[in-house]
Amino acid sequence: MPEIAFAGRSNAGKSSAINALAQRNRLAFASRTPGRTQQINLFRLRSGALVADLPGYGYAAVAKDVKRAWQELLWHYVTTRPTLAALVLIVDSRHGLKDPDRELLTGFVPSGRPVLILATKADKLKKTEASNALATLESELAQLFEFRPANVGVLLFSATTRMGVAEAEAIIAQWLPMAEPVRPGKKTDEEN
């Protein structure tokens, strides 16, 4: 199955988003302390897709050389992984895109693979603030690429209220190949 990378700044809500999409409470460990994810952790969603929870970038309560090693690992993974089908970028809706987010997007978007930006913690914003945050993200994308890339989607998201969860699940499902169900008594290609 293809892998879908979940990337974002430390404490932006990656683990909470993965848990909400997997409908599991503690599949990915969510912490108030930035920098808890220190390796690439793979999880399987109900759809069968493999999710790669990448170490957060930006602020983390770790040594600078450790943080630099994480960033190198993350960049190597998203630029060379042959099974990586798509990227879900987690951005705190209250803070928008930061330079590391822009750098990741400018390196990944030209590949043509799909990107979904989840503007997390949207439940902490009033309705008008949430609309403005979404419009700001859309505007930043248009400025970053001089146009709105067709392979990039943006959703307001809240793991707490489940805002955007169904929409994100539907988008991710479109990225996955449809497997032919195996009927009882029928041999699979591997068994033939």
Structural domain boundaries of the chain? 3-175
Which pTM does this prediction carry?
0.82
pLDDT at position 182 is 35
pLDDT at position 130 is 96
pLDDT at position 47 is 67
Gap between the Cα atoms of 72 and 3, Å rounded: 19
Instruction: List all residues 6 or more positions away from 10 whose beta carbon is below 8 Å from its beta carbon.
Output: 34, 35, 56, 57, 58, 59, 60
pLDDT at position 67 is 66
CATH for 3-175 is 3.40.50.300
**pLDDT under 70: residue ranges of the chain:** 24-38, 46-47, 58-63, 66-67, 178-192
**Residue 76 identity:** H
CA distances for 147 relative to 102, 123, 154, angstroms:
14, 29, 15
